[in-house]
Protein backbone atom coordinates (compact mmCIF):
# COMPACT_ATOMS: atom_id res chain seq x y z
CA UNK A 1 0.00 0.00 0.00
CA UNK A 2 2.81 2.37 0.92
CA UNK A 3 4.60 1.52 -2.36
CA UNK A 4 1.42 2.34 -4.35
CA UNK A 5 1.13 5.69 -2.53
CA UNK A 6 4.77 6.51 -3.29
CA UNK A 7 4.36 5.60 -6.98
CA UNK A 8 1.23 7.77 -7.24
CA UNK A 9 2.96 10.65 -5.50
CA UNK A 10 5.97 10.32 -7.81
CA UNK A 11 3.73 10.16 -10.91
CA UNK A 12 1.90 13.33 -9.87
CA UNK A 13 5.15 15.07 -9.03
CA UNK A 14 6.71 14.28 -12.42
CA UNK A 15 3.57 15.07 -14.39
CA UNK A 16 2.13 17.98 -12.41
CA UNK A 17 2.55 20.52 -15.20
CA UNK A 18 0.90 18.18 -17.71
CA UNK A 19 -2.00 17.49 -15.30
CA UNK A 20 -2.54 21.22 -14.67
CA UNK A 21 -2.43 22.06 -18.38
CA UNK A 22 -4.84 19.22 -19.20
CA UNK A 23 -7.23 20.34 -16.46
CA UNK A 24 -7.12 23.97 -17.67
CA UNK A 25 -7.69 22.88 -21.29
CA UNK A 26 -10.78 20.90 -20.28
CA UNK A 27 -12.19 23.83 -18.27
CA UNK A 28 -11.36 26.25 -21.09
CA UNK A 29 -13.01 24.02 -23.70
CA UNK A 30 -16.17 23.45 -21.64
CA UNK A 31 -16.77 26.95 -20.35
CA UNK A 32 -15.02 29.38 -22.69
CA UNK A 33 -15.02 27.76 -26.17
CA UNK A 34 -17.73 25.08 -26.28
CA UNK A 35 -18.28 22.97 -29.41
CA UNK A 36 -21.78 22.36 -30.76
CA UNK A 37 -23.25 20.33 -33.60
CA UNK A 38 -25.71 21.96 -36.00
CA UNK A 39 -29.09 20.24 -35.92
CA UNK A 40 -31.25 20.96 -38.95
CA UNK A 41 -31.02 23.15 -42.04
CA UNK A 42 -32.35 26.51 -40.83
CA UNK A 43 -28.92 28.18 -41.28
CA UNK A 44 -28.20 26.92 -44.80
CA UNK A 45 -26.32 27.75 -46.94
CA UNK A 46 -23.75 28.95 -44.37
CA UNK A 47 -24.15 26.06 -41.87
CA UNK A 48 -25.34 22.55 -42.62
CA UNK A 49 -26.86 19.75 -40.57
CA UNK A 50 -24.31 17.91 -38.38
CA UNK A 51 -21.46 20.36 -38.92
CA UNK A 52 -19.43 21.10 -35.79
CA UNK A 53 -18.96 24.70 -34.68
CA UNK A 54 -16.75 26.32 -32.06
CA UNK A 55 -18.21 29.22 -30.13
CA UNK A 56 -17.34 31.58 -27.30
CA UNK A 57 -19.36 32.31 -24.19
CA UNK A 58 -17.72 35.70 -23.67
CA UNK A 59 -18.60 37.97 -26.53
CA UNK A 60 -20.43 41.21 -27.12
CA UNK A 61 -23.44 40.58 -29.32
CA UNK A 62 -23.72 42.51 -32.59
CA UNK A 63 -26.10 42.54 -35.52
CA UNK A 64 -25.57 39.56 -37.87
CA UNK A 65 -23.61 37.51 -35.31
CA UNK A 66 -24.43 33.81 -35.47
CA UNK A 67 -25.39 32.57 -32.02
CA UNK A 68 -26.39 29.51 -30.03
CA UNK A 69 -29.64 30.17 -28.17
CA UNK A 70 -31.75 28.11 -25.81
CA UNK A 71 -35.42 27.65 -26.54
CA UNK A 72 -36.80 27.72 -23.00
CA UNK A 73 -40.16 26.36 -24.17
CA UNK A 74 -38.72 22.99 -25.24
CA UNK A 75 -35.28 23.10 -23.56
CA UNK A 76 -33.37 22.77 -26.84
CA UNK A 77 -30.40 24.64 -28.34
CA UNK A 78 -30.51 26.12 -31.82
CA UNK A 79 -28.30 28.21 -34.13
CA UNK A 80 -29.62 31.50 -35.54
CA UNK A 81 -28.42 34.94 -36.68
CA UNK A 82 -29.03 38.16 -34.74
CA UNK A 83 -30.98 40.63 -36.85
CA UNK A 84 -32.43 43.01 -34.27
CA UNK A 85 -30.86 44.49 -31.13
CA UNK A 86 -32.56 45.64 -27.90
CA UNK A 87 -35.17 48.41 -28.25
CA UNK A 88 -35.13 48.35 -32.06
CA UNK A 89 -38.10 48.01 -34.37
CA UNK A 90 -37.46 45.15 -36.82
CA UNK A 91 -39.52 45.27 -39.97
CA UNK A 92 -39.60 43.30 -43.21
CA UNK A 93 -41.23 45.00 -46.20
CA UNK A 94 -41.17 43.44 -49.65
CA UNK A 95 -38.52 40.93 -48.51
CA UNK A 96 -36.21 43.73 -47.28
CA UNK A 97 -35.02 44.36 -43.71
CA UNK A 98 -35.62 47.71 -42.04
CA UNK A 99 -34.31 48.56 -38.59
CA UNK A 100 -35.94 51.62 -37.04
CA UNK A 101 -37.26 52.44 -40.53
CA UNK A 102 -33.77 52.34 -42.15
CA UNK A 103 -32.93 49.75 -44.82
CA UNK A 104 -30.29 47.16 -43.77
CA UNK A 105 -28.78 44.87 -46.44
CA UNK A 106 -28.61 41.14 -45.70
CA UNK A 107 -25.85 40.17 -48.15
CA UNK A 108 -25.50 36.67 -46.65
CA UNK A 109 -28.98 35.54 -47.80
CA UNK A 110 -29.51 33.43 -50.89
CA UNK A 111 -31.48 35.00 -53.72
CA UNK A 112 -34.45 32.63 -53.24
CA UNK A 113 -34.85 33.50 -49.55
CA UNK A 114 -38.24 34.96 -48.71
CA UNK A 115 -39.26 36.81 -45.56
CA UNK A 116 -42.92 37.77 -45.24
CA UNK A 117 -43.85 41.32 -44.24
CA UNK A 118 -43.89 41.80 -40.47
CA UNK A 119 -43.00 44.30 -37.73
CA UNK A 120 -41.68 43.61 -34.23
CA UNK A 121 -40.72 45.99 -31.40
CA UNK A 122 -37.92 44.59 -29.22
CA UNK A 123 -37.81 45.20 -25.47
CA UNK A 124 -34.80 46.32 -23.40
CA UNK A 125 -33.08 42.95 -23.19
CA UNK A 126 -34.35 41.24 -26.36
CA UNK A 127 -32.80 40.21 -29.66
CA UNK A 128 -34.50 39.26 -32.92
CA UNK A 129 -32.87 36.07 -34.22
CA UNK A 130 -33.64 34.27 -37.47
CA UNK A 131 -32.30 31.43 -39.58
CA UNK A 132 -30.60 32.24 -42.90
CA UNK A 133 -32.80 29.62 -44.58
CA UNK A 134 -35.88 31.82 -44.09
CA UNK A 135 -38.13 29.38 -45.95
CA UNK A 136 -37.32 26.61 -43.42
CA UNK A 137 -36.70 28.25 -40.06
CA UNK A 138 -38.76 28.69 -36.92
CA UNK A 139 -37.40 31.78 -35.22
CA UNK A 140 -38.25 35.22 -33.82
CA UNK A 141 -40.68 35.72 -36.69
CA UNK A 142 -42.75 32.95 -35.08
CA UNK A 143 -42.19 33.42 -31.32
CA UNK A 144 -40.92 36.98 -30.94
CA UNK A 145 -37.82 38.44 -29.37
CA UNK A 146 -35.34 36.32 -27.43
CA UNK A 147 -34.03 37.42 -24.03
CA UNK A 148 -30.28 37.97 -23.80
CA UNK A 149 -30.09 35.25 -21.13
CA UNK A 150 -31.27 32.71 -23.75
CA UNK A 151 -28.28 33.49 -26.01
CA UNK A 152 -25.53 31.35 -24.56
CA UNK A 153 -22.72 31.54 -27.09
CA UNK A 154 -21.51 33.23 -30.29
CA UNK A 155 -20.35 30.99 -33.15
CA UNK A 156 -16.77 31.76 -34.20
CA UNK A 157 -15.60 28.81 -36.34
CA UNK A 158 -16.88 25.87 -38.34
CA UNK A 159 -14.44 23.12 -37.36
CA UNK A 160 -15.99 20.04 -38.99
CA UNK A 161 -15.90 18.83 -41.66
CA UNK A 162 -12.29 19.92 -41.80
CA UNK A 163 -12.43 20.77 -45.53
CA UNK A 164 -15.19 23.28 -44.69
CA UNK A 165 -13.21 24.98 -41.87
CA UNK A 166 -14.26 28.62 -41.75
CA UNK A 167 -14.18 31.62 -39.45
CA UNK A 168 -17.28 33.71 -38.79
CA UNK A 169 -15.38 36.47 -36.99
CA UNK A 170 -15.93 39.88 -38.56
CA UNK A 171 -18.07 38.45 -41.35
CA UNK A 172 -20.48 41.38 -41.18
Distance CA 97, CA 82 (A): 12
80 among known catalytic residues: yes
Catalytic residue among 42, 55, 140, 153: 42
Catalytic residue among 55, 80, 137, 153: 80
Ranges of H-type helices in 32-162: 140-143
Distance CA 67, CA 57 (A): 10
- Burial class of residue 74, CB neighbours in 10 A (0-12, 13-18, 19+): exposed
42 among known catalytic residues: yes
Catalytic residues: 42, 80
Amino acid sequence: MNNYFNQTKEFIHHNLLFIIVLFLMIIFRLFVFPIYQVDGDSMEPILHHQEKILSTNFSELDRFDIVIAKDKRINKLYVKRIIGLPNEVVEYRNNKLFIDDKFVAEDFLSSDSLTEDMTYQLADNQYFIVGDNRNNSRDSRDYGGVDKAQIISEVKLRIWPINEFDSFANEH
